[in-house]
Amino acid sequence: MLDNILGKMKDQLNLNEMWKQNSSKVENLVIDGLLGLTEDKLINETEIRAVIAKVYELLPTPIRLVLPRDFIINKILEQKGPLLNKVTETRLKRKNKEL
């Protein structure tokens, strides 16, 4: 039983380490996906989850094999506020470039 618990803890550490290594790539893909949503849809968690699920499918296979879909969705949703701020900043930068 103790081996089972230790194995689960090791797996969790591996997930967190893999997330640390790849989180910026995933976040950038999510931001790009969220740029396609209108402002009113950005407050809808269902819409955000749908974008994250699509982004998950774009990740390289080794990442998807190690990081489960629910893990990535939950990690991204934990950082929803800062990510939405980055989406707003990116939109403003693009709008200023057009002017």
What does the pLDDT look like over 21-61, one tens digit per residue? Answer: 889 999 999 999 999 888 888 888 999 999 999 999 999 88
**Helix residue ranges, H only, the chain:** 2-34, 45-58, 61-66, 69-78, 80-98
Domain spans of the chain? 2-98
Look at residue 6 and tell me whether its pLDDT is greater than 60.
Answer: no
Residue 50's closest CA among 76, 22, 16?
A: 76
Tokens representing residue 73 in the block: 């969705």
How much is the average pLDDT of 67-79?
92
User: To the nearest whole percent, how much of the chain has pLDDT over 70?
Assistant: 87
Amino acid letter at 97? Answer: K
Whether the model clears a pTM of 0.85, i.e. scores above it, the answer is no
